[in-house]
Structure 1
Amino acid sequence: MVEYTEEIEDFEEEITESEEEIQGREMFEHHRFEADKGQMPLRVDKFLLVRLPHASRTKIQDAAESGCIRVNDKPVKSNYKVKPNDIVSVVLSYPKREIEITPENIPLDIVYEDDYLLVVNKPAGMVVHPAFGHFSGTLVNALLWHLKDNPLFTGNDIRPGLVHRIDKDTSGLLVIAKTEEAKSHLALQFFNKTSDRKYLAVCWGNLESETGTITGHIGRHPVNRKVMSVYPDGSHGKHAITHYKVIERLGYVNLVECILETGRTHQIRAHFKYIGHPLFNDAEYGGNAILKGTTFSKYKQFVNNCFAVCPRQALHAQTLGFTHPATGERLSFESPIPPDMLQLIEKWRNYTSER
């Protein structure tokens, strides 16, 4: 029997060196087993139960009902009999962590909500889920209050309903599941890359091409564990691909649209740093210095004013699309550019027009 394990995705979030963050980077695990040549017919739930000691039979059966158990790349029910050489894959959420999380009455910008999920527009500055140094004021604290009558949000799970996330200082759209079935269904879409996500960013410098693709493994920096590095030779990290398109050239910065083919931690930020175009005012990746432009004091003052207008990395999760886990309808959402990034863009437009 051969087993492969990987994560649904590395959710983009602020990195710390804490155990909480390291264990909390992924919400789902993906297992792949190859049945032996001499495998006797056996129900797939029993087959997986002996191979996944941390998972209950109920959890495995729920995964089957949600279409998250596949044999030879086809979804099966719990009573499917595993045969010799079958390839069995399953997506499961990680076990809940026992820490106390307090519901907090924090206003949420809810874009859409029904009995199965909700889509929120997260402001910059809000951490998605509790971690070391951030046990209050997070999106999860707010969700526990908003969904306090929902059994999925009444425990001490630091990731209830979460299937992806974005950095603390990145704004934009997130989908949250309200049932275990919806959570598994949505997680599978993110794993299979059938969800759609577009980001809007302001980066330093003029990109050579109107469109492009950045490819390079992403892993933790060998010295500074709070940031990620790109390893183009694939010696470390995980495969990552970012597609971009220049939306507007604004003198010494570019407004770009980014589409993620993978979802690694800090992917856009690390990739643009790697190609020499860090995101504007991204302190962790060198974008909070004047990287392009003139040496005139007036220009320096202008850029410092831009830093003050948008005091965080200029990155916004603008669009989100996925298939509804219950109805099968394709849903698409778009978030307007937040005021700080809009002011930043306008300032650079005015600067460019006056040159």
Structure 2
Amino acid sequence: MEKFTFTARPQDAGLRLDSFLAEQAGALSRSRAKALIKEGAVSIDGAATDDPRKAVIVGSVYTLEMPDPVPAVPQPEDIPLDILFEDEHLIILNKASGMAVHPAPGNWDGTLVNALLFHCEGKLPGIGGVERPGIVHRLDKLTTGVMVAAKTEVAHTGLSALFAEHDIERAYLAVTRGAPRPLSGTVDEPIARSTGDRKKMAVVRNPDGTAGRPAITHYKALQTFGLRDRGTGLPAAALIECRLETGRTHQIRVHMSHIGASLIGDPVYGRSKGITAWGSGDGYDAAKAAARSFERQALHAGVLGFIHPVTKAALRFEAPLPDDMSGLIAALRRLPTED
């Protein structure tokens, strides 16, 4: 990754940010500069921005972190897949933890796209003229669960419309530090890239009335575990079901953290490792150790349901909890509670 720094001169005043960067970087087109800004690759005086229309201010320092180029064509790789359903138009699978969806810096191979190119070799009529699977939604690298990909252009177009219209059933299971209050409800808070850390998303409501993109998560606690403190009645942890109306980046992780119930193991939005719990004994020790050593965000896409965009059949798939989350929940159930 290369880093470029430009200081705005008097003659640059008032230029759009994407035009300014394209001019300063030389070989960079304005459309590419706009895309990089929206991806969070640009900061102004150290603060991240994702607004390509922002006016340039004389004397401000603009930093562009240029990502390494992506290989032109991902290569097919023989990677095992847990396939739940497949026909000539769609493939639905249970994604494992540790598998990124798309090739990107740090994950050029071993991705879901690489695996699908191998699995579907010779069976992809093409999307946009290219023999590739159509990814219409994604799960974070460390998140497990149900995903769908299109094999044909008509399926890709239909799935994209379903997701755009939020005409999809999506239910996720999360294990949280503490529990949300109330134990069921809706988080309706806009999400955008954090101005303090371009690698994170955040709930954004600015004093000037601007906000992030609308994001709505319905949640309910399916089970609570132990107590934070003796006598308070507040749970030490909880198993939460989240259903999405929208599909923003990191939506569940951001919303749960925003209401004080970050996901156990979350390396980005978790406030600390492990849980705060009252008690003693073997069960207490085992539960604390399981939460502290959990190595990813405890999040699983459990249900995906929609109308097949070609056959119009009603489809609904469930993926069982992976072993690591099942083990975590089993350990948390051993936390002591007051009589």
Normalising by structure 2, report the TM-score.
Answer: 0.71
1:235 to 2:210 alignment: yes
1:261-294 superposed Cα distances (whole Å, 9 cap, x missing partner):
1100000000111111101110111254245224
Tell me the equivalent position of 1:263. 247
In the alignment, what sits opposite 2:184?
211
2:314 is aligned with 1:339: no
Letter aligned with residue 278 of structure 1: S
| Structure 2 counterpart of 1:307, from 292, 296, 304 | 292
- Give the 5 Å matches for 1:158-237: 160-232=133-205, 235-237=210-212
Any idea what the Cα deviations from partners look like across 1:132-183, whole Å, max 9, x if unmatched?
2211000000001001103456999697311111100100000111100000
**Counterpart for residue 12 of structure 2:** none
Q: In the alignment, does 2:221 pair up with 1:246? A: yes
Paired residues of 2:143 and 2:300 also in contact (CA < 8 A): yes
Indicate if the aligned counterparts of 2:264 and 2:274 stay in contact, CA closer than 8 A. Answer: no
Change (3 A) 1:283 1:119: same
Matches within 5 A, 1:134-173: 134-152=107-125, 160-173=133-146
The letter for the 1-side match of 2:39 is: I
Deviations 1:83-129 (A, max 9, x none): xxxxxxxxxxxxxx871311100000000001110101001111011
- How many equivalent pairs are there? 264
Name the CA distance, whole Å, in 2 between partners of 1:151 and 1:125. Answer: 25
Q: 1:340 to 1:172 in 2, by over 3 A?
A: same
Q: Secondary structure at the match of 1:119?
A: strand
Amino acid at match of 1:314: A
- Code of the residue aligned with 1:165 in structure 2: it is R
Amino acid at match of 1:306: A
SS at match of 1:142: helix
CA RMSD of aligned residues (A): 2.9
Per-residue deviation, 1:307: 3.4
User: Does the CA-based 8 Å contact 1:126-1:169 persist in structure 2?
Assistant: yes
TM-score, length-normalised on structure 1?
0.68
Unaligned runs of 5+ in 2: 1-34, 41-69, 227-235
Q: CA deviation at 1:225?
A: 1.4
Q: 2:261 aligns with which of 255, 277, 282?
A: 277
**How many Å apart are 1:222 and its aligned residue?**
1.1
Report deviation, 1:212: 0.4
